[in-house]
């Protein structure tokens, strides 16, 4: 028996070593993952011309290994009604990202740790009142020894900066033309909110659908930023549950602080299968008496 | 007489005690009503990639082979209007470079992706709504015949491609980004063909 132990002992040691190295390599693989989180993901500030504010951004490393990060700022604007974000400067506009001064531009965040990076936004004295936009980015940096397609993760904190002063505000609400008759599937009931003013506002949109008794069968509310000199599409859809019904769609939104309401629109919904069944039944109900009457007429004639 | 006085004293203390009790209870009720709970929930956005590097290794043949490998990008945000995920080159180089050798980027674009030409590399996402890729389900392959699946070149740093848009909060929402390499024996061997790409995630306004 002791002989047996003596023979097996080296194998036991080798086994332990293999298990240990396996777990170490698995750990190293897990450690390579990059989980970068920033909070807040957007910051809304109002500053007087010539004034400034001090803020901070938290960068959270959710992985086990430390990673290097680079901090930077970029201009920010959106394109299209879908609001596709762009990190470039619109021609003829002021680059507000130059107003942001970071306390550091590169640092390391330890694994499972949070790093707070202070920054200031300093508005020039000659800045005109209105809305200005920028993004503060935190980006992971990888070492140069990796090969293949090497990925970097970048997350942004959007800065909505209002320079105080007299600013024109206004906008409009328009809606999709809704069908009078609908057969099957969801009905798009979205709207578009435009901003003709000089700074952003938050629109509060409400879509409500009521049945013929006045009961609410669908309700959706959204709070969305509307940037100056843009129009934004806010999509939603209502899927009727009943096979047949008469519905009224109510749509309203606050536009630059003013409640605007679109005219109510009625939609008659009928399931195509039900429509076919009703047509078939009507055909039978009308056709059978006609057929009988024809048969009676023929028998009288003969 | 003394007994009478004692009875009167006892009886008169009862309403006094009752009034005191009511006052205590009502004061407790008042303090309960004024209690309020406030909570401020901070906004966050996070990006997670599984490994930080995608190996798209290939052993070429005279007619050419294609290798497709994927990266999983996971986003979480508590922003009610969702997030936008973009992809672009990290540096000015759009090629997979190994020393003095390179594999050029696909000539396809997000709007008009193309099947992979020989000795090119590119990316794709399976989506019917993003660009012209289409919802065809892509599977990772290794040294397979060059297929008809459409790829685009990774765009320059200044003009990233939008590869996902959402409109609600997201918890561990994943996007598969596929990288494909198509090579024949004209591409010199090299173990270190490398390119750096950046995934950018921002919350929607």
The full set of domain ranges for chain A reads 34-143+152-163, 171-270
Q: Residues B34, B55: one domain? A: no
Q: Residues B31, B84: one domain? A: no
Q: How far is CA A58 from CA A41, A42, B9, B58, B69, in A?
A: 10, 12, 69, 41, 33
Topology match between the domains A34-143+152-163 and A171-270 = yes
Contact B99, B192 (CB under 8 A): yes
Q: What is the pLDDT of residues B168-181, one digit of tens each?
A: 999 999 999 999 99
Q: What is the pLDDT of residues A63-86, one digit of tens each?
A: 888 999 999 999 999 999 999 999
Total domains in chain B come to 2
> What percent of chain A stands above pLDDT 70?
88
Q: Residues B130, B192: one domain? A: yes
With bands split at pLDDT 50, 70 and 90, how would you rate the model's confidence at A103? very high
C-alpha B97, offset from chain centre: 28
Q: Residues B65, B164: one domain? A: yes
- On the question of pLDDT at A132 being above 90, the answer is yes
- On the question of pLDDT at A14 being above 50, the answer is no
Beta carbons of B53 and A39 less than 8 Å apart: no
Give which of A38, A151, A233 to mutate to test B binding, by max B Cβ within 10 Å. A151
Q: Residues B93, B109: one domain? A: yes
Q: Residues B25, B92: one domain? A: no
Which residues from A are below 8 Å from B79, CB to CB? 41-42
Question: Bigger pLDDT: A20 or A73?
Answer: A73
With bands split at pLDDT 50, 70 and 90, how would you rate the model's confidence at A27? very low
- On the question of pLDDT at A234 being above 50, the answer is yes
Q: Residues B84, B23: one domain? A: no
- On the question of pLDDT at A270 being above 60, the answer is yes
What pLDDT score does A276 carry?
A: 83
C-alpha A294, offset from chain centre: 66
What pLDDT score does A291 carry?
A: 86
- In B13-52, which positions are buried (b, 16+ CB within 10 angstroms) versus exposed (e)? eeeeeeeeeeeeeeeeeeeeeeeeeeeeeebbbbbbbbbb
Beta carbons of B197 and A149 less than 8 Å apart: yes
Beta carbons of B202 and A38 less than 8 Å apart: no
How far does A58 lie from chain B, in Å, by closest CA?
10
Judged by a CB distance cut-off of 8 A, whether residue A235 touches chain B is yes
Q: What is the pLDDT of residues A160-191, one digit of tens each?
A: 999 999 999 999 999 988 999 999 899 999 99
> Which of A25-29, A42-46, A273-277: highest mean pLDDT?
A42-46
Q: Residues B34, B58: one domain? A: no
Least trusted range by pLDDT, from A257-266, B23-32, B48-57 = B23-32
Average pLDDT (B73-100) is 95
How far does A90 lie from chain B, in Å, by closest CA?
13
Judged by a CB distance cut-off of 8 A, whether residue B80 touches chain A is yes
**Domain A34-143+152-163, CATH:** 2.60.40.10
**Through-space distance between the first and last CA atoms of chain A, rounded to whole angstroms:** 116
Nearest to A151 among B53, B80, B165 (CB): B53
Q: Residues B25, B105: one domain? A: no
- On the question of pLDDT at B38 being above 90, the answer is no
Question: Bigger pLDDT: A272 or B110?
Answer: B110
Residue of A nearest to B164 (CA): A84
Angle at B166 between CA B162 and CA B167, to 5 degrees: 135
What pLDDT score does A274 carry?
A: 78
What pLDDT score does B21 carry?
A: 55
As given in the structure block, the two tokens for residue A175 are 């809606």
Domain that holds residue B92: 45-203
Q: What is the DSSP letter of A83?
A: T
**Through-space distance between the first and last CA atoms of chain B, rounded to whole angstroms:** 86
With bands split at pLDDT 50, 70 and 90, how would you rate the model's confidence at B18? low
Which residues from A are below 8 Å from B52, CB to CB? 32-34, 140, 142, 146, 150-151
Q: How far is CA B70 from CA A69, B56, B122, in A?
A: 24, 9, 12
- On the question of pLDDT at A278 being above 60, the answer is yes
Is the omega angle on the peptide bond into residue A40 within 30 degrees of 0, that is, cis? yes
What pLDDT score does A144 carry?
A: 66
**Dihedral-angle region of residue A130 (phi above 0 means left; psi in -120 to 50 means alpha; beta otherwise):** left
Which residues from A are below 8 Å from B203, CB to CB? 41-42, 156, 158
Which residues from B are below 8 Å from A137, CB to CB? 200
What pLDDT score does A253 carry?
A: 98
Judged by a CB distance cut-off of 8 A, whether residue B174 touches chain A is no
Complex-level ipTM: 0.81
- On the question of pLDDT at B111 being above 50, the answer is yes
**Three state DSSP letters for A212-263:** CCCCEEEEEEEEEEECCCEEEEECCEECCCCCEEEEEEEEEEEECCEEEECC
Q: Residues B32, B62: one domain? A: no
Interface of A with B in 94-133 (CB under 8 A): none
What pLDDT score does A22 carry?
A: 36
Nearest to B44 among A41, A148, A154 (CB): A41
What pLDDT score does A199 carry?
A: 97
Average pLDDT (A51-74) is 94
Dihedral pair phi/psi, residue A245, rounded to 5°:
-175, 160
CATH fold group of domain A171-270: Immunoglobulin-like (2.60.40)
């Amino acid at each position: 028996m002791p002989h047996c132990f003596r023979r097996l002992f080296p194998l036991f040691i080798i086994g332990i070593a293999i298990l240990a190295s396996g777990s170490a390599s698995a750990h190293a693989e897990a450690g390579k993952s990059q989980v970068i989180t920033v909070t807040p993901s957007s910051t809304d500030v109002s500053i007087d011309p010539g004034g400034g504010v001090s803020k901070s951004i938290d960068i959270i490393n959710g992985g086990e290994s430390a990673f290097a990060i680079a901090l930077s700022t970029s201009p920010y604007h959106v394109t299209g009604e879908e609001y596709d974000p762009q990190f470039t400067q619109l021609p003829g506009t002021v680059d507000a990202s130059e107003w942001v001064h970071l306390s550091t531009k590169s640092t390391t965040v330890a694994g499972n740790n949070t790093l707070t990076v202070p920054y200031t936004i300093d508005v020039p004295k000659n800045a005109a009142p209105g809305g200005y936009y920028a993004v503060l980015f935190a980006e992971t940096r990888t070492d140069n020894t990796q090969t293949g397609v090497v990925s970097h993760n970048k997350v942004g904190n959007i800065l909505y900066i209002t320079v105080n002063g007299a600013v024109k505000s206004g906008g409009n609400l328009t809606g999709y033309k809704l069908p009078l008759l609908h057969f099957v599937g969801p009905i798009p009931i979205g709207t578009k909110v435009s901003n003709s003013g000089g700074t952003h506002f938050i629109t509060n949109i409400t879509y409500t659908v009521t049945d013929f008794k006045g009961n609410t069968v669908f309700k959706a509310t959204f709070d969305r930023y509307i940037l100056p000199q843009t129009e934004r599409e806010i999509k939603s859809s209502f899927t009727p549950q009943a096979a047949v019904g008469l519905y009224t769609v109510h749509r309203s939104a606050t536009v630059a602080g003013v409640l605007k309401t679109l005219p109510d629109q009625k939609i008659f919904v009928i399931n195509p299968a039900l429509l076919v069944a009703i047509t078939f039944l009507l055909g039978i109900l009308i056709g059978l008496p006609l057929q009988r009457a024809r048969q009676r007429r023929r028998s009288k004639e003969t | 007489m003394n007994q009478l006085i004692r009875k009167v004293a006892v009886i008169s203390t009862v309403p006094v005690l009752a009034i005191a009790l009511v006052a205590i209870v009502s004061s407790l009720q008042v303090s309960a009503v004024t209690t309020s709970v406030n909570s401020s929930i901070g906004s966050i956005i996070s990006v997670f990639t599984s490994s930080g590097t995608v190996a798209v290794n290939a052993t070429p043949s005279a007619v050419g082979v294609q290798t497709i490998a994927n990266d999983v990008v996971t986003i979480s945000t508590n922003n009610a209007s969702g997030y936008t995920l973009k992809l672009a080159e990290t540096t000015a180089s759009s090629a997979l470079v190994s020393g003095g050798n390179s594999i050029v980027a696909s000539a396809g674009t997000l709007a008009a992706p193309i099947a992979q030409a020989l000795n090119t590399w590119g990316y794709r996402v399976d989506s019917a709504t993003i660009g012209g890729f289409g919802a065809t389900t892509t599977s990772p392959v290794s040294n397979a015949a060059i297929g008809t699946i459409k790829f685009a070149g990774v765009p320059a740093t200044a003009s990233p491609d939008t590869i996902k848009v959402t409109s609600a909060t997201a918890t561990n929402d994943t996007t598969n980004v596929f990288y494909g390499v198509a090579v024949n024996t004209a591409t010199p061997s090299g173990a270190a063909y490398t390119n750096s790409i950046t995934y950018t995630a921002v919350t929607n306004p």
